[in-house]
Structure 1
Amino acid sequence: MKFAVTSKGDQKSNRIKAIMEQYLLDFDLERNIKEPDLVISVGGDGTFLHAVHHYFHRLKQTAFIGVHTGHLGFYADWLPEEVEKLVIEVAKQKFEIVEYPLLSLKIFYENKKEAERFLALNETTIKKVEGSVVLDVTIKGEHFERFRGDGLCVSTPSGSTAYNKALGGAIIHPSLSTMQITEMSSINNRVYRTIGSPLILPSHHVCQFKPVDKEQSFIMTIDHITKSVENVTALECSVAKERIRFARFRSFPFWKRVHDSFISDECY
């Protein structure tokens, strides 16, 4: 099996990465950064997101697993003191694959024929540096509302525990192929009227956000990536056909993950 290990870059994470690489090589596994079968991320959720985005072109061939060395490792199953156990599992056992949905984002520009496409594991957000975001929201081609406020967040089920949760959105089990639209400080008056609640859409629904003023520029995030866009005619979100593959060597139920991350008194 071919493997790659990524690190947060701090001293602790780099040390664990070096130990894991040497152990795996001792078991006659092949280190292959370009075409790994398994990517092991050492760090926090941010490190995991970086690793996933780096290998988005290999989603069908590559599985991911995380060792967390930070304060909150929602995507990480393993602790630093379990490294030797994990290495033995990787070397000796065939891992189980668990797949989670991803978000597809298309950005349509005024002077471009082809849309720019991105994938997100957590979410994409639409904001502005100054003033309110004003967008016409369409679902399955039908106008739903005209939104005005600080912005919108569109999240995956696994990303529902991230920024979406802070905005008051629902936590969704990642076995459901859905996306969630959550408002940021919407303005409601006689001119603008929004639903005011998070919307959970199934995989066959496509949502578009069309700027009312085409001269608006937006600040967008796609997971950890921040992007400034202008001359936008539409932003289109849907559940991606691609899915991320997690390597599981032991059971770690989603709701236990949620409990340990947000409710448990134990600190990692």
Structure 2
Amino acid sequence: METRRNMFFSYKKDPTKWPAIEKLINIAKEQGFEIVSKSEDANIIVAVGGDGAFLQAVRKSGFRDDCLYVGVTDEKETSLYCDFHIHDTEEMIEAIQTAGVSVRRYPVIDVHLDGHTHFQCLNELSVRSSIIKTFVIDVVIDDLHFETFRGDGIVVSTPTGSTAYNRSLNGAVVDPRISCMQVSEIASLNNNQFRTLGSSFILGDSRKLTLQIVQDGNDYPIIGLDNEALSIQHTKSIEVEMSGKIIKTVKLKNNSFWHKVQRTFL
């Protein structure tokens, strides 16, 4: 692993948790790391708080692929993005300093609204109606009009995001070594008049997915980007593709993606 010395800590201001965070910062200083006040000056970004805090740190720092992200949970159990517990400080520093520690790489998806506004997601993109009304979306794969969806919405997930909202929709859990995106329906309407595939499907990293929102009076959709939600009033087209970026995190021994899935669900 390349040498990384500049460390930035991302955490929610909480007086009850500050002593543990302060201890973590002091140990990092003792080990020769420089603590920086801006994420753009760091080559290690430590997110303290859980998976939500990790996703927020990645988003606020601009989905950087030139630094290492480290997730530290302050909850009882480690989680999908958090390999360390806040009280296992020595283990975290040792892991970062060890030359033999491997790096886990997670794919990211790019999202464009009406061809210009750009977002990125590490976990998932969801498009839903903000009113109690059937949502109509034309689903286009590359240049193929695949189907017309009617229902509550659509979720597009990365492999790591496949364990979240996607899984609750009976989508498949996908190995993050596969660069792909999974499309899952939210309460689709299927009858003699309207028909969709009715199951999740997976698109390779060279595919482009376009969700064309049919303007039938439902002009106030909500788009979820990981753990954030935005109103996208009057948006007509959402283009989704795999990004060339990857997010790098520490991979500990005996704590692969599938170890985490087993620990979380089985």
Give, in whole Å, the separation in 2 of the partners of 1:80 and 1:198: 37
Following the alignment from structure 2 to structure 1, what is the Cα–Cα distance between the partners of residues 94 and 172?
Answer: 37
Q: How far apart, in 1, do the equivalents of 2:204 and 2:231 lie?
A: 28
Alignment pair present for 1:166 and 2:168? yes
Residue by residue over 1:52-82, the C-alpha shift from the partner in whole angstroms, topping out at 9 and shown as x without a partner, is 111125x232111111112562111112332
Alignment check: 8 A CA contact 1:27 1:91 kept? no
Aligned partners of 1:12 and 1:69 also within 8 Å:
no
Task: Give the 5 Å matches for 1:4-23.
Answer: 4-11=8-15, 13-23=17-27
Q: Which runs of 5+ in 2 are unaligned?
A: none
In the alignment, structure 1 residue 62 sits paired with structure 2 residue 62: no
| TM-score under structure 1 length normalisation | 0.90
User: 2:165 & 2:207 partners in 1: Cα distance?
Assistant: 22
Equivalent AA in structure 1 for residue 168 of structure 2:
A
Name the residue aligned to 2:146.
144
- Aligned AA (2:30): D
Range moving further from structure 2, 116-125 or 35-44: 35-44
1:83-116 CA distance string (max 9 Å, x none): 12222333454643221111111110xxxxx511
Q: Distance in 1 between matches of 2:31 and 2:195?
A: 61
Aligned residue for 2:45? 39
What is residue 103 of structure 1 aligned with on the other side?
109
Residue type of the alignment partner of 2:73:
H
Find out whether 1:222 has 2:222 as its counterpart.
no
Correspondence 1:250 to 2:256? no
Partner of 1:77: 83
8 Å contact kept, 1:140–1:205 = yes
Whether contact under 8 Å (1:99, 1:244) holds in the other structure is yes
Partner SS state of residue 21, structure 1 = helix
Q: How far apart, in 1, do the equivalents of 2:264 and 2:15 lie? A: 24
Residue 94 to residue 158, structure 1, CA distance change in 2 (3 Å): same
- Length, aligned pairs only: 257
Cα deviation, residue 6, structure 1: 1.7
Residue 26 (structure 1) aligned with residue 52 (structure 2): no
Are residues 13 and 62 of structure 1, via their aligned partners in 2, closer, same or farther at CA, if it must alter by over 3 Å? farther
Counterpart of 1:60, as a letter, is D
Which segment drifts farther, 192-201 or 9-18? 9-18
Instruction: Measure, in 2, the Cα distance between the counterparts of 1:148 and 1:54.
Output: 34
The match for 1:266 is none
User: C-alpha distance in 2, partners of 1:60/1:67?
Assistant: 19
Q: Does 1:127 align with 2:128?
A: yes
* Structure 1 gaps, min length 5: 109-113, 264-268
Q: Any conservation in 1 of the 2:71–2:81 contact (CA below 8 Å)?
A: yes
Q: Percent same amino acid at aligned positions? A: 28
Task: Report how far residue 202 of structure 1 moved.
Answer: 0.4
